[in-house]
Homo-oligomer: A and B are copies of this chain.
């Protein structure tokens, strides 16, 4: 089932110019949905959305944890927890350089989710 998930995630690339977004082409299988849900769950928190956004917008495409922590009125362990959730979902990656740990976005993961949600032809004609 993890293999199915991977193939589903891959599809959005090979499929980038196809007729419609995966979500609108044919129904997700149970296995595909099980693999996709954790990605959206990782995005389903305002703190994590802001973290992702802060990292994406930071100079050089990466941000130190200390920069991120100072942007919230939350404790360091809480920020660390959210970063861990994002990383385990594959949305970000990190590296330790000396004293500091730097995080950056995984654009591939975001692109895949974006393509999945794009309701192009299938019901782009239904409304707008």
Contact surface of A with B, Cβ cutoff 8 Å: 21, 23-28, 30, 33-34, 36-38, 40-41, 43-47, 49-50, 52-54, 56-57, 61, 71, 104-108, 110-111, 113-119, 122-124, 126-128
CB contact between A40 and one of B27, B43, B53 (< 8 Å): that residue: B43
Q: Are B124 and A57 in contact (CB under 8 A)?
A: no
Known contacts A107-B126, A110-B117, A113-B117, A37 near B57 by CB under 8 Å? no
Contact of A105 among B46, B50, B116, B126 (CB under 8 A): B126
User: Taking the full assembly, how many copies of this chain does it contain?
Assistant: 2
Which of B21, B28, B49, B57 contacts A33, CB < 8 Å? B49
| Cβ contact of A46, chosen from B30, B49, B53, B124, cutoff 8 A | B30
